[in-house]
Amino acid sequence: MLRFLLCLLTALPLAAAPATSAEIEILQARPLGFDEIAEGRCTLRLTGSIAPGDAERLAAAIDSEEIVIMMMPELYVNFPNGMPRGHSLCLDSPGGSFTAGIDLAKLLIAEGIATVIEPETACLSACAVAFMAGSMGSSNSSGGGRMPYRVMDVTSRLGFHAPYIPFDKLGKSIPPALAEESFRTALRTMVLITEALQGRDLFAPTGRFPKPLLLAMLGTYGADRFSYVDTIDEVGLYDIRLTGLPEIATDEGSWALLCGNVTGWFRGIPARDWASDLLSWGYEVRRLEEGPDPYLPLPEDLLLVDYEYDSAAGRPEPTAFLRQVLSRHESCTIYANAGPGDAFSVYFLENDQEPKLGLRPIGLWATLPRYVRLRDLAGAAEIPTDRFRTLSDEAQRALRLDPVTPVPEFSPGQLWAFSRPEDYEAAPDFDLIDLRPDGTATLARDWWETEIIAEGLPYRIEGARLCIEAQAAFCLSLAGPGHLRLSGLGAELDWPVAYIRPSPAAPAKP
């Protein structure tokens, strides 16, 4: 019986969907330009559950006479050989065998095939592993480089979870040997995934499978549980390109956000959603007519930057240089005409420690706050600059806004952070209130260290009044610009608002 269960285990532990082979289609024989792939177009498509043998069948399709394979491009300034071209695979799958997904990942990297998730489709579990292997040839030197190239639509779903064991198929009593082998199998699978997706290309801004993604995957267990890539922060951290975007307006604060986002992603640190979304300690944005700061180094010899210097003026031509953001913690010089499919090349310099230089081609979506959810970008015609912008004293000063901005009404999804009231002794022991969309609130203190005081507390919104049910219930109401009135908890006091993360479900009100 035990031998039978162990044999059964070898077929089941890495499965997240029925093990029927996926359907593989050749959509177009000739390769696409990188700019077309960045828009979400494909030459190949895989649909359905991923099963052993799918990688071999995809390899056969790629090697068939129907597919035209071109030499890998050389991603140099101005792309002297014309627009780089390659093949891309659209993925629409609920998952399947993790082992088969790893085999697909290895093939996609070896062949330099980009991956795409089309509008209103999903790529989950083993499919998500294969998706992260999407690649483009980046150079012909040293045997050829492979640059990660993954594209998803804002209406699509990309979900990860750890390899799991379907014990419900193995009966109620699990022999110890089987349990031990199950655990080892799951660990081996994560090792194989990491090995298949490790490495970093010369041209890549991040690793192929960044640590934050690995941690999110390991922390999600079960057949129906997924860690979805559904925020600007996750897309930026994982080096994924976006399609299906509306027009996105920009102002000086947008360029500051872009600089803060890109340097944060370079560090590989997820955003702390309780922190202000604009750079602390203020910033300066230098415009085209001002030119970049002559004392900062400029990327004269870095790749993926399409610009020429005006030797007489001593600065880049107007068609290239856009903005420069100078702040206490980082500095960014932003150029137009980046890699194909990207809006900018951002050259950034960390100021805090020994200088760390970096360059990243990226789209206009990176000017949005990191907590913005992708689904809130779908279907919109335009995203104005104040659509998701945090209201904060720092932001108001930096953006030269009226410092007495009225406090908006309450709505689910907001995060409120408070300063100490004048009546210090009467202040509650929390200064953060997170109004979760599920109707429960979390109370916490300390903006930076964030200690949870209570969570799962039901709340109700009654017009311009918010009431939270705790051991001692309290209510908040609007009390003029920059303040709320707190009633309950044994006191009644005016509570200054430090900043507000607006609800993703509705625009921030002026």
**CA-wise closest residue to 503 among 469, 461, 468:** 461
> Is residue 396 included in any domain, yes or no?
no
Model confidence pLDDT, tens digit, residues 86-132: 899 999 999 999 999 999 999 999 888 999 999 999 999 999 999 99
Instruction: Enumerate the β-bridge partners of residue 359.
Output: 347
Q: Give yes or no: residues 301 and 361 share one domain.
A: yes
> Is residue 305 included in any domain, yes or no?
yes
Q: Flag the least confident range among 1-15, 429-443, 446-460.
A: 1-15
What mean pLDDT is predicted for residues 446-475? 82
CATH number at residue 416: 2.40.128
Distance CA 493, CA 487 (A): 7
Banded model confidence at residue 39, pLDDT cuts 50, 70, 90: very high
Q: Give yes or no: residues 203 and 326 share one domain.
A: no
Q: Who has greater pLDDT, 82 or 280?
A: 82
> Is residue 389 included in any domain, yes or no?
no
What is the DSSP secondary structure assignment for residue 489, as one 8-state letter? T
What is the DSSP secondary structure assignment for residue 470, as one 8-state letter? S
At residue 157, does pLDDT exceed 70? Answer: yes
Residue 183: Cβ within 10 Å count: 12
Q: Report in angstroms the alpha-carbon separations of 341 from 73, 230, 381.
A: 15, 21, 20
pTM of the predicted model as reported, rounded to 2 decimal places:
0.75
Q: Give yes or no: residues 225 and 255 share one domain.
A: no
In sequence order, which residues have a C-beta less than 8 Å from that of residue 172 and are 6 or more positions away?
Answer: none
Q: Give yes or no: residues 64 and 109 share one domain.
A: yes
The per-residue DSSP string of 440-468 comes to EEEEEE-TTT-EEEEEEEEEEEETTEEEE
> Is residue 37 included in any domain, yes or no?
yes
Q: Give yes or no: residues 34 and 167 share one domain.
A: yes
> Is residue 392 included in any domain, yes or no?
no
What mean pLDDT is predicted for residues 186-213? 78
The per-residue DSSP string of 112-127 comes to T-EEEE-TT-EEETHH
Contact, 230 vs 374, CB < 8 A? yes
At residue 279, does pLDDT exceed 60? Answer: no
The runs of H, that is alpha helices, within 349-489 are 393-398
Q: Give yes or no: residues 186 and 239 share one domain.
A: yes
Q: Flag the least confident range among 215-224, 310-319, 490-499.
A: 310-319
> Is residue 390 included in any domain, yes or no?
no
Distance CA 417, CA 437 (A): 17
Q: Across 68-72, 342-346, 356-360, 405-409, which has the greatest mean pLDDT?
A: 342-346
What is the DSSP secondary structure assignment for residue 125, as one 8-state letter? T
At residue 70, does pLDDT exceed 80? Answer: no
Q: Give yes or no: residues 80 and 228 share one domain.
A: yes
At residue 5, does pLDDT exceed 50? Answer: no
**CA-wise closest residue to 14 among 96, 75, 94:** 96
Contact, 222 vs 322, CB < 8 A? no
Question: What HEC string does 41-101 produce?
Answer: CCCEEEECCECCCHHHHHHHHHHCCCCCCCCCCCCCCCCCCCCCEECEEEEEECCEEHHHH
Cα-to-chain-centroid distance, residue 479? 37
Q: Give yes or no: residues 16 and 45 share one domain.
A: yes
Domain boundary among 243, 259, 280: 243
Angle in degrees, 0-180, between the axes of helices 98-111 and 54-63, rounded to the nearest 10: 20
Domain boundary among 225, 243, 261: 243
Evaluated on CA atoms 311, 313, 319, 322, the torsion sign reads: positive
What mean pLDDT is predicted for residues 464-491? 82
Residue 319: Cβ within 10 Å count: 13
Instruction: Enumerate the β-bridge partners of residue 93.
Output: 123
Residue 420: Cβ within 10 Å count: 11
CATH number at residue 130: 3.90.226.10
Distance CA 68, CA 74 (A): 18
Please give the mean pLDDT across all residues of the chain: 77
Q: Give yes or no: residues 372 and 455 share one domain.
A: no
> Is residue 398 included in any domain, yes or no?
no
Banded model confidence at residue 12, pLDDT cuts 50, 70, 90: very low
What mean pLDDT is predicted for residues 288-300? 66
Range of the domain at 227: 2-243
Report the SS3 class of residue 232: helix
Distance CA 22, CA 57 (A): 10
Domain boundary among 243, 265, 295: 243
The per-residue DSSP string of 150-170 comes to EEEETTSEEEE------GGGS
Q: Give yes or no: residues 154 and 188 share one domain.
A: yes
Q: Who has greater pLDDT, 178 or 299?
A: 178
HSE at residue 396, side-chain half, CA atoms within 13 A, is 16
Report the SS3 class of residue 312: coil
Q: Give yes or no: residues 436 and 331 share one domain.
A: no
> Is residue 397 included in any domain, yes or no?
no
Distance CA 278, CA 260 (A): 8
Q: Give yes or no: residues 270 and 331 share one domain.
A: yes
Backbone dihedral region of 14: left (phi > 0), alpha (psi from -120 to 50 degrees) or beta?
alpha
Q: What is the number of domains present in the chain?
A: 3
